[in-house]
């Protein structure tokens, strides 16, 4: 039975895995036949976002460390 599912990538999935009961595959699952790899621009954007998150976390750690040194 084919069911609409959301695999979380923004594209609807289409299939229930054969022989897997109620388990559903989204469009990016390797068994779906519709797997899409990110292009260079998407990878760069993801890495820039990750780097910004790391910098924010490092700033928080530095602030906490400075507080601990004052005590």
Exposed, middle or buried by CB within 10 Å (0-12, 13-18, 19+), for 27? buried
Q: Which helix (DSSP H) or strand (DSSP E) does residue 25 occupy?
A: strand 24-25
Helix (H, G, I), strand (E, B) or coil at 15: strand
Rg of the chain, C-alpha, whole Å: 21
In order along its 71 residues, the chain shows pLDDT tens digits of 455 555 555 555 555 555 555 555 555 555 556 678 999 999 999 999 999 999 999 999 999 999 999 98
């Amino acid at each position: 039975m084919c069911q609409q599912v959301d695999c979380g990538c923004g594209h609807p999935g289409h299939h229930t895995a054969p022989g897997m009961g109620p388990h559903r595959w989204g469009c990016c699952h390797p068994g779906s036949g519709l797997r899409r790899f990110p292009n260079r621009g998407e990878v760069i954007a993801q890495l820039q976002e990750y780097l910004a998150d790391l910098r924010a976390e490092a700033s928080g750690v530095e602030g906490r460390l400075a507080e601990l040194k004052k005590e």
